[in-house]
Amino acid sequence: MDVINLEPTEDTPKVILDKDRQVFEISGRSLPEDAAEFYQPILDWLDEYENQVNPDTKFMFKLEYFNTASSKLILDILSKLEEIEGASVIWYFHEDDEDMEEAGEEFSDLVDIPFDFKTY
């Protein structure tokens, strides 16, 4: 499987999807001009990954900010993770960022997947 390794920009998050190294991470700021276009390769990668999953998939979100359009696509990612056996989410938030903590809690209520909340 190909590795997705996108460097962050002012408007897009860092994305690493590496099956062999077991790194699944989206971090930074997510307010791309076209969220659907930005996140489509990630969703496609997860579709492919679903056919050859690792025994354990810890998907890490470490977002500082995301816009409304991104939140829909994050939910799409979480919905795909629901279908992956052994998947879980690690939701990082800055210890002073109640909004990001609450966003993670809301996402965890919407999907049936284990969430682990961690501060940094």
Q: Could you report the per-residue pLDDT of 63-113, keeping only the tens digit for each?
A: 999 999 999 999 999 999 999 999 999 999 999 999 999 999 999 999 999
3-state secondary structure of 6: strand
Domain with 93, as residue range(s), is: 4-119
Q: For position 59, what pLDDT does the model report? A: 98
d(Cα 46, Cα 99) in Å, to the nearest integer? Answer: 27
Mean pLDDT throughout 46-53? Answer: 96
70 contacts: CB under 8 Å, gap ≥ 6: 30, 31, 32, 35, 39
* Domain total in the chain: 1
CATH number, residue 88: 3.30.750
